[in-house]
Structure 1
Amino acid sequence: MQSDPTTPLRPQPRPSGPARRAGTAAKLTLALVLGGALLAPAAQAAPLTAPTAHVAANPYERGPAPTNASIEALRGPFAVAETNVSSLFVTGFGGGTIYYPTTTSAGTFGAVAIAPGYTADKSSMAWLAPRIASQGFVVFNIDTITRSDQPASRGRQLLAALDYLVEDSSAANRIDAGRLGVMGHSMGGGGTLEAADDRPQLQAAIPLTGWNLTKNWSGVQVPTLIVGAENDTIAPVASHSKPFYNSLPSSLDKAYLELDGASHFAPNISNTTIAKYSISWLKRFIDDDTRYEQFLCPAPQGDRNISEYRDTCPHS
Structure 2
Amino acid sequence: MQLHPHTDSPIRTRDTRGRRTGRRAGRLAGAAAALALAVGLGPLTSPGAHAADNPYERGPAPTTSSIEALRGPYAVSQTSVSSLSVSGFGGGTIYYPTSTSDGTFGAVAISPGYTAYESSIAWLGPRLASQGFVVFTIDTLTTLDQPDSRGRQLLAALDHLTQRSSVRGRVDASRLGVMGHSMGGGGSLEAAKSRPSLQAAIPLTPWNLDKTWPEVTTPTLIFGADGDTIAPVASHAEPFYSSLSSSLDRGYLELNSATHFTPNSSNTTIAKYSVSWLKRFIDNDTRYEQFLCPLPRPSLTIEEYRGNCPHGS
Aligned to 1:250: 246
* Alignment counterpart, residue 102 of structure 2, candidates 80, 102, 106: 106
Return the offset for 1:280: 0.2
8 Å contact kept, 1:11–1:253: no
Q: Does 1:4 align with 2:32?
A: no
* Alignment counterpart, residue 175 of structure 1, candidates 171, 181, 185: 171
Q: Does 1:237 align with 2:237?
A: no
Extract structure 1 runs of 4+ deviating beyond 6 A: 22-25
Q: Does 1:189 align with 2:185?
A: yes
CA distance in 2, matches of 1:146, 1:253: 32
CA distance in 1, matches of 2:162, 2:10: 32
Aligned partner of residue 79 in structure 2, secondary structure? strand
* Alignment counterpart, residue 312 of structure 1, candidates 299, 304, 308: 308
Aligned to 1:154: 150
Aligned to 2:217: 221
Return the offset for 1:55: 2.7
Return the offset for 1:303: 2.7
Aligned to 1:297: 293
User: Closer, same or farther in 2 for the Cα pair 1:86/1:170, shift >3 Å?
Assistant: same
User: Closer, same or farther in 2 for the Cα pair 1:212/1:302, shift >3 Å?
Assistant: closer
Alignment of structure 1 residues 199-214 onto 2, 5 Å: 199-214=195-210
8 Å contact kept, 1:193–1:205: yes
Aligned partner of residue 83 in structure 1, secondary structure? strand
CA distance in 1, matches of 2:14, 2:189: 19
Q: Does 1:14 align with 2:30?
A: no
Q: For residue 252 of structure 2, what is the amino acid of its counterpart?
A: Y
Q: Does 1:84 align with 2:80?
A: yes
Q: For residue 258 of structure 2, what is the amino acid of its counterpart?
A: A
Aligned partner of residue 185 in structure 2, secondary structure? helix
CA distance in 2, matches of 1:137, 1:10: 29
* Alignment counterpart, residue 132 of structure 1, candidates 109, 128, 135: 128
CA distance in 2, matches of 1:265, 1:9: 34
- Say what the alpha-carbon RMSD is for the aligned residues: 2.0
Aligned partner of residue 237 in structure 1, secondary structure? coil
Q: For residue 86 of structure 1, what is the amino acid of its counterpart?
A: S
Q: For residue 85 of structure 2, what is the amino acid of its counterpart?
A: F
Unaligned 5+ segments in structure 1 are 26-47
CA distance in 1, matches of 2:106, 2:14: 16
Aligned partner of residue 154 in structure 2, secondary structure? helix
TM-score, length-normalised on structure 2?
0.88
User: Closer, same or farther in 2 for the Cα pair 1:63/1:232, shift >3 Å?
Assistant: same
Q: Cα deviations across residues 65-102 of structure 1 (Å, max 9, x unaligned)?
A: 00000000000000000000000010000000000000
CA distance in 2, matches of 1:114, 1:207: 9
Q: For residue 14 of structure 1, what is the amino acid of its counterpart?
A: R
User: Closer, same or farther in 2 for the Cα pair 1:302/1:250, shift >3 Å?
Assistant: closer
CA distance in 1, matches of 2:225, 2:198: 25
TM-score, length-normalised on structure 1?
0.88
Q: Cα deviations across residues 240-291 of structure 1 (Å, max 9, x unaligned)?
A: 0000000000000000000001000000011000000000000000000000
Alignment of structure 1 residues 243-282 onto 2, 5 Å: 243-282=239-278
